[in-house]
Structure 1
């Protein structure tokens, strides 16, 4: 039995040495805790100030231009406006109209320019934001056309 007890003690000693070595190595790898830092005594830096921009010419307020449909044509048939201005299309004819961008019948030049059906006396306003020359027409009478030039 003594040999058996001796073997158990040797195995137990080896296990203790291995576990102790593992814990020692692991502790050596752990970072040292940092000492508590003292509150900063520096003044906060001021927020950067935006540089003043030179003032250009004041932009005029957006305008509204009225285009009337007479029953056979738009009047005026061509208008020139600035980006951000609005064109108010009024149906002064006796039948319904549908103001839409070109080309007829697909209206892809400016798809948002589409009033749907406007009864006699009704109006539709559209604010032009894109520069260019924009054709429009009465979808129910495609020969009634006009142009809005946006500068």
Structure 2
């Protein structure tokens, strides 16, 4: 039974690693996209402020959106930063003390099961923290789009329906 528990624990640890790598890739892709949009919005803000018919509302809206998207990009990168991560398996030298003390295989495997449980818990905690930071980055980007859209709608309504 212990062999099956170990096999499942190692499979779980491997799945956690795969999931963590995918989350990092997603975070970096998101950061690159919103970072690029942020740079474009800075250019738009400048153009709107210095054009023949400048629009301070649109220029400031673009600047606000650029800053907020930069924060979202930064947070996404932080969510993919290096963490302490536990991997399946064990270094052969770590078994030395058990061999020297003559620990029974069943007891050694039970200790390994317990060790894997703590590793899985540590990985889950670290991944949860990074997921929370990434989700906050996405929420900032979505809120930025919403607020920017509302401000643009207000500007557009003022120009389409002047009083």
Asked if these proteins are the same fold (TM beyond 0.5), I'd say no
State the structure with bigger RCO (CA 8 A, min sep 6), 1 or 2. 2
Structure number having the greater strand percentage: 1
Which structure has the larger Rg?
A: 1
Name the TM-score, length of structure 1 as normaliser. 0.20
Name the TM-score, length of structure 2 as normaliser. 0.19
